[in-house]
Structure 1
Amino acid sequence: MGEVLKKSSRKGAFDLEILREINLPTENKRVEVWSADDIKTFLDARARILNLTRHFIGMEISVLTGMRCGEVLGLRWSDVDFERKILTIRQTLSKIDDKGNYGLVPEAKTINAFRTVNLPDRLVASLIAHKGLIDHERIVLGDKYEDNDLVVCTKNGSWVHPNNFRRAFNVTRDGLGLPKIPLKGLRHTHATYLVSIGVSPKLVQERLGHANIKTTLGTYSHVLPSMQREVAEKLDRLVVEIK
């Protein structure tokens, strides 16, 4: 049945992304995330690691936007609006056949997947600096440059295999002495942090591209108890002020 669905999905007859968003009752296992201090340490990697991977920009995008690995690796410069400080997810790097080969495909699986994400100033500045590097490489290589317009790419412009991206993340993470979360933990860290500072779960759902808010609530429900305590404390302060 699984292979039938995969083949139907590739032919456009079935949306496989729908299944990825379905959560069974056992969904509430605790996701691995970093603390706010861990995030700060990670974002300071350029000052802490001498030979930092060129793919760090992709990791920075993930932890500051919550984008999926394939979405990050498929992001193009034409999808980034520096003036409005937003990016639009139109393309993803995904498996394209039964042999496990990857390719760049349009992100049109679900309405939620095709979305616009607002960018913090920190990320905009990093993207501008990284674009300078890419533009220089494009000029130096000339006709030998494989121009896919990708933000995260090799020195000759081709797309980066997810396994190589994961290895680069692991090396960076370990070099900084941070807790050993997987690459997808950057997305979970982003969402958990937003929920912890009081951002509406509905907004978090839209930012992550979840098809259903139940997915968001189920995945990040571990943050809610601390928020409940914060609400109670704020109510106590309100009562004190009334007195």
Structure 2
Amino acid sequence: GYLRVAQSLQRSRGELRLKSPKTDTSRRRVVIPGFCIDALTRHRTSEREKIASLGLPVDPTTLVFTSQAGTPIEPRNVNRAFEALLKKAKLRRVKLHDLRHTCASLLLAEGVAPRVVMELLGHSAIAVTMNTYSHVIPALQDESAKRMDALFGAENTNLRDSEVR
């Protein structure tokens, strides 16, 4: 039910190379939903079949996402493919990286603890997460008041909104 971030693809001296993540917080375990696990498992199987059909070795270090030649995917090609998917789905153009922000905003809006979101994103400090996603906080404050009402019973209070100062 998780993936482990152990390496990143970076351009170095004009070549794509797999390297260790930049920071300790970048190296992390990310719990992912079941539907993602299922999709990744199916994709890994088809990628391994493709790699084998190219006559390349398949082992535990084989990447889950590769080019048609079985090599790491050029980041620009990932962006182009993403833009093509958006166009096909008749969605407005957004950057692939924007999905990271959407995910974090949705998780916070659904009441996931900010610390959990921080760890998922690999932020080094909770302040980074909270400063970046402060626009979600007003909705969280409204939700916290509703939860307190549910916890203590709104019907048990004698105060009305106009009496609270």
The TM-score with structure 1 as length reference comes to 0.59
Which residues of 2 match residues 177-196 of structure 1 at below 5 A? 177-196=90-109
CA contact (8 A) 1:146 1:158 kept: no
What is the aligned partner in structure 2 of residue 86 from structure 1? 2
Residue 75 of structure 2 corresponds to residue 159 of structure 1 = no
Shift of 1:235: 3.2
What is the aligned partner in structure 1 of residue 19 from structure 2? 105
Shift of 1:101: 3.8
Shift of 1:92: 0.3
The TM-score with structure 2 as length reference comes to 0.84
Shift of 1:146: 8.9
What is the aligned partner in structure 2 of residue 219 from structure 1? 132
List alignment gaps of at least 5 residues for structure 1. 1-84
Structural RMSD (CA): 2.0
* 1:76-132 Cα distance to aligned partner (Å, 9 max, x none): xxxxxxxxx2111111011213xx54321122x211000001121101111111122
CA contact (8 A) 1:152 1:159 kept: yes
Letter aligned with residue 12 of structure 2: I
CA contact (8 A) 2:44 2:65 kept: no
Shift of 1:192: 0.8
In the aligned structure 1, how far is the partner of 2:47 from the partner of 2:138? 44
Give 3-state SS (helix, strand or coil) of 1:135's partner. helix
* 1:123-149 Cα distance to aligned partner (Å, 9 max, x none): 111111112211221232214x79861
* 1:40-80 Cα distance to aligned partner (Å, 9 max, x none): xxxxxxxxxxxxxxxxxxxxxxxxxxxxxxxxxxxxxxxxx
User: Looking at CA atoms only, which structure, 1 or 2, has the larger radius of gyration?
Assistant: 2
Residue 51 of structure 2 corresponds to residue 138 of structure 1 = yes
Relative distance call for 1:235 and 1:179 in structure 2 (3 A) is: farther
Shift of 1:241: 4.2
List alignment gaps of at least 5 residues for structure 2. 158-165
In the aligned structure 2, how far is the partner of 1:180 from the partner of 1:226? 26
